[in-house]
Amino acid sequence: MTLDGLPQNISKARLQHFRIDTDHSNAFTVWKKMGSPLNPTAEQFAQLEKAGQLAELETPKTVTVEKGAVQVHMDLPRQAVSLLVFDYDAKL
């Protein structure tokens, strides 16, 4: 993926990668592994709530910006979605 249109004076950006798929940010998968309880216990409900939170796929990292553009390589599984958050600052 290439993101362009960034300021020309930026040389680095911070990238956070979040994912929703079978294994990340997916309370439905956890619910099925529990045996699909119709009335989850308080503990199960807490697990489901936690599993449904948006999860970072990897630790945030610094990426290089060249001529106002940054390239990111990633594999995106079927039936998955990624949220990429770029943050740039003159201090990076």
Query: What domains does the chain contain, in order, with CATH numbers?
Result: 2-87 (2.60.40.1500)
Determine the pLDDT at residue 89.
Answer: 76
Q: What is the per-residue pLDDT across 18-71, written as a single tens digit (0 to 9) for each?
A: 999 998 999 999 999 999 999 999 999 999 999 999 999 999 999 999 999 999
Positive/negative CA dihedral, 34, 38, 43, 49: positive
* Gap between the Cα atoms of 38 and 45, Å rounded: 11
Alpha-carbon 89 to chain mean position: 21
Whether the predicted pLDDT of 92 surpasses 60:
no
> Cβ(63)–Cβ(15) under 8 Å?
yes
Q: Look up residue 27 and give its amino acid.
A: A
* Gap between the Cα atoms of 70 and 5, Å rounded: 9
